[in-house]
Structure 1
Amino acid sequence: MPSERSPRRWRRITDLNSPQPAPSGPGLARRLGVGDAVVIGLGSMVGAGVFAVWSPAARAAGSGLLIGLGIAAVVAYCNAVSSAQLAAVYPVSGGTYVYGRERLGEWWGFAAGWCFVIGKTASCAAMALTFATYVTDIDWLRRLVALVAVLGLAAVNLRGVTKTARLTRILVTCTLAVLALVLILLYTGEPHHHASTGTSAYGVLQSAGLLFFAFAGYARIATMGEEVREPARTIPRAITVALIIAIGIYFAVALALLRTGDPASTAAPLAAAVDGVGAAWAVPVVRIGAALASLGALLALIAGVGRTTLAMARNRDLPSWLAAVHPRYQVPHHAELALAAVVGVLVLTTDLRGVIGFSSFGVLLYYAIANASAFTQPADQRRWPRAVNVIGLTGCLVLAVTLPWTSAVVAAALLAAALLVRRFRTGRAGSARN
């Protein structure tokens, strides 16, 4: 772990809004304000998860669903403030990949970046397939619709980050409008009591890990730190505001679902709950809202994964071809084209309904490294006490090991394979220099 006098550490920053050290390679344009950054974070958090995550989480938690949601919210808050504290000092693309390299060492940064890229690439495919599921029930057509969604939103991202933020704002507005309608119908409808099911500590923790999948979008704000104006002020404020709004929405939805039915009994609990209170006319509206929410999450995911890929390519942890920045639109166009190609193959060939646990495992490890990195920051860079970092780190590790074991094993195996490949490459490079 580097000390404060380590030569690898960035220069001490007395004015965090002053010009920052330039990244290696072409830079991105700082075009996003607080409002845009909040919208991008909300577009990632209040996405398809709010329509789909309740069923598996409720089955795991039983009557302890709200406890699981509370645990997920606490861990998400700790991760968010750790990320905000780090992003204010290191406002370049890459998120915890950069923070881990600067605060803990290159290997930790590589592990964080790899966990983020593989977890969020799977999430991109899951969001595309979720969108397509609400459009059609025909399998081959569903995959084609998912592919079109991936290619279309990748094209939007390639036109520049301001267009990404603008479209995300529209999609988030539509999603929030649908959610508002759903909540009005559920809270004004007749409550339906259902039999309570048992719960266990393990089940509650597993539900928290699954629910965390829906919270993790605030990372998109930090990974796009190189495109945010006045990052020391904008990033912490945007992350905090976006997370508080998302937590409020999730608790409102959870309470409404528990008031009107059993969210564990169906794969589409919001649509079922609306139908159950006698508002069948609103079911198509819920389906449209879920489709738009999936598109908003996919759009923000493509932007975030592309920026982390860019950062890793700049340091040659991924092929340097991926570090290219478009001269006109100033976006990492090679990284986003490669991502679109990989996600396109996944939606055409793979059933990703079981990879929420896989994605959550990778993202929880990513944030565990973020909390460890924030713990090492000196007093002049701190905004929150170190206890927050300790709680966040512990929470991430506990939730990761309580996820379905198949997801954890596959994700851990991919991480181990990536570390072995990097070890082999660095060993060969060292031998060549000698």
Structure 2
Amino acid sequence: MSGAQPALARRLGTGDAVVVGLGSMIGAGVFAAFAPAARAAGSALLVGLLVAAVVAYANATASAQLAAQYPTSGGTYVYGRERLSPWWGFLAGWGFVIGKTASCAAMALTFAAYVAPNAQRPVAAAAVLLLTAVSYRGVTRTARLARVVVAVVLVALTAVVVATLVGGDPDWSRVEPWGGASGGWYGTVQSAGLLFFAFAGYARVATLGEEVRDPARTIPRAIQLALAITLVVYATVAVTLLATLGADGTAASSAPVADAAATSGWAWTGPVVRVAGAAASLGALLALVAGVGRTGLAMAREGDLPRWLAAVHPRYRVPHRAEVALAVVVCALVLTVDLRGAIGFSSFGVLLYYLVANLAAWTQPREHRRFPRAWQVVGAVGCTVLVVTLPATAVLVGAAVLVVGVVWRAARRRASRA
């Protein structure tokens, strides 16, 4: 039956694919991840940023190869099932659901930090409910909107860098990537795990195998270009924050990019940054609600989540039960956890997801390989190291939720065989 399905049009070139990658990476993460990273590693977060980028690249190579062989929706949930076993597919899908659910909470909290820092939790919950209502009616973020958000964010970040370096009083002695590791090597690696959150979405390029011209050449080039540009942007922002606020000031701030802009004395930069942070957060939150809802739908159809979540609204054609359930859980999170906890928990689930992707890509035969197999080793080892060095609370809660999912699936399978 799969052979009868129409193929997608190959309309995208390298430039288009790079823009898609930038749209998936340069967004709300840059406004949220630097404070918890600075808390973990001080100015050595710059080293953590480089480590996170290397692991992200390794994971993206695995996703690129798998997406080319299995050009269908479902991502690593499908790849794990096809290359390894249904259990591995479940672990990837469950890791994605729990990780991206936490990402929803992180985006909502980031939005509230930039628009209403004195009422962060209720405003974050209201944002979740509003965006869920929008998604419920079948409205999702389009590629055009993604480009607009990227443009707004890049303009805002450029304004911050120029304003703080020209109008402020930067102290370059605060930028010590090797000598300023307040948490030692463990804190530096932990910052890499937290900053990995800011790269989330990079593998979106890898899913374009059926829509780009000459994918064997275009996808690898687009991945490398998008990641390189994103790393330069993030490193520039990180250096600016450290020179302006210092590691301690960055760690203590709930909105470090806005606080850095405020030091310049240029009054217009503050509102620009807050608008950009809010827009990026809302755009990311809307995309996450849609993405998690549809992954939940796919898992429910396979019986890997309760089947009542597989319902599709008869009018709006969206997985309405999955999205409502997601909204309830995310509201509970934003009312109880802080931003660092949400980012750590998100990284736990997403790193588990990409661990399965690397293991699945390792099993691909030569004819489906586009990158050296060594990158899958780097990716798998990197994901494992970053997971175990995340904040202890994130690891313990993540492991507990993972066990709950495994126990539920095992019980369901046992009941179905009885």
Instruction: Tell me the TM-score normalized by structure 2.
Output: 0.85
What's 1:425 paired with? 412
Matched, 1:216 2:194: no
Q: Structure 1 residue aligned with 2:241, among 251, 257, 260?
A: 257
Larger mean CA deviation between 68-77 and 118-127 belongs to 118-127
Q: Structure 2 residue aligned with 1:406, among 376, 382, 393?
A: 393
Deviations 1:113-137 (A, max 9, x none): 1111011112102211221232224
Matched, 1:130 2:116: no
Shift of 1:163: 5.0
Contact 1:33–1:229 (8 Å) recurs in 2: yes
What's 1:6 paired with? none
Deviations 1:397-424 (A, max 9, x none): 0011111112101101111121111111
Deviations 1:194-232 (A, max 9, x none): 55644421111011111111111224566x779x73598
What's 2:382 paired with? 395
Partner letter of residue 238 of structure 2? A
* Inter-CA distance 428–393: structure 2 relative to 1 (3 Å threshold): same
Q: Distance in 2 between matches of 1:159 and 1:32?
A: 29
Partner letter of residue 106 of structure 1? P
Partner letter of residue 100 of structure 1? G
Larger mean CA deviation between 28-37 and 115-124 belongs to 28-37
Same amino acid, percent of matched pairs: 59
* Pairing of 1:163-174 with structure 2 (within 5 A): 164-174=142-152
What SS is found at the alignment partner of 2:201? helix
What's 1:14 paired with? none
Deviations 1:251-285 (A, max 9, x none): 22122223334143131322222222332431222
Shift of 1:247: 1.8
Larger mean CA deviation between 93-102 and 236-245 belongs to 236-245
* Pairing of 1:49-64 with structure 2 (within 5 A): 49-64=29-44
Partner letter of residue 285 of structure 1? V
Contact 1:54–1:263 (8 Å) recurs in 2: no
Contact 1:85–1:236 (8 Å) recurs in 2: no
What's 2:295 paired with? 308
* Pairing of 1:345-424 with structure 2 (within 5 A): 345-347=332-334, 349-353=335-339, 354-424=341-411
What's 2:127 paired with? 149
Contact 1:92–1:225 (8 Å) recurs in 2: no
Contact 2:296–2:309 (8 Å) recurs in 1: yes
Q: Distance in 1 between matches of 2:377 and 2:19?
A: 29
What's 1:204 paired with? 188
* Inter-CA distance 317–220: structure 2 relative to 1 (3 Å threshold): farther
What's 1:74 paired with? 54
Q: Distance in 2 between matches of 1:317 and 1:29?
A: 28
Partner letter of residue 105 of structure 1? S
Shift of 1:329: 6.6
* Pairing of 1:237-248 with structure 2 (within 5 A): 239-248=223-232
Instruction: Tell me the TM-score normalized by structure 1.
Output: 0.82
Q: Structure 2 residue aligned with 1:291, among 270, 278, 281?
A: 278
* Inter-CA distance 263–50: structure 2 relative to 1 (3 Å threshold): farther
Shift of 1:361: 1.2
Unaligned regions of 5+ residues in structure 2, if any?
A: none
* Inter-CA distance 84–61: structure 2 relative to 1 (3 Å threshold): same
* Inter-CA distance 28–420: structure 2 relative to 1 (3 Å threshold): farther
Contact 1:210–1:357 (8 Å) recurs in 2: yes
* Inter-CA distance 136–64: structure 2 relative to 1 (3 Å threshold): closer
Q: Distance in 2 between matches of 1:48 and 1:209?
A: 17
Larger mean CA deviation between 90-99 and 35-44 belongs to 35-44
* Inter-CA distance 235–311: structure 2 relative to 1 (3 Å threshold): farther
What's 1:89 paired with? 69
* Inter-CA distance 231–123: structure 2 relative to 1 (3 Å threshold): farther
What SS is found at the alignment partner of 1:384? coil
* Inter-CA distance 325–392: structure 2 relative to 1 (3 Å threshold): same
Deviations 1:365-415 (A, max 9, x none): 111111111111111111101100000100010011111112101101111
Contact 2:10–2:213 (8 Å) recurs in 1: no
What SS is found at the alignment partner of 1:355? helix
Contact 1:41–1:219 (8 Å) recurs in 2: yes
Shift of 1:149: 2.7
Larger mean CA deviation between 298-307 and 183-192 belongs to 183-192
What's 2:171 paired with? 192
Aligned positions, number: 405
What's 2:85 paired with? 105
Larger mean CA deviation between 288-297 and 31-40 belongs to 31-40
Unaligned regions of 5+ residues in structure 1, if any?
A: 1-18
Q: Distance in 1 between matches of 2:281 and 2:144?
A: 16
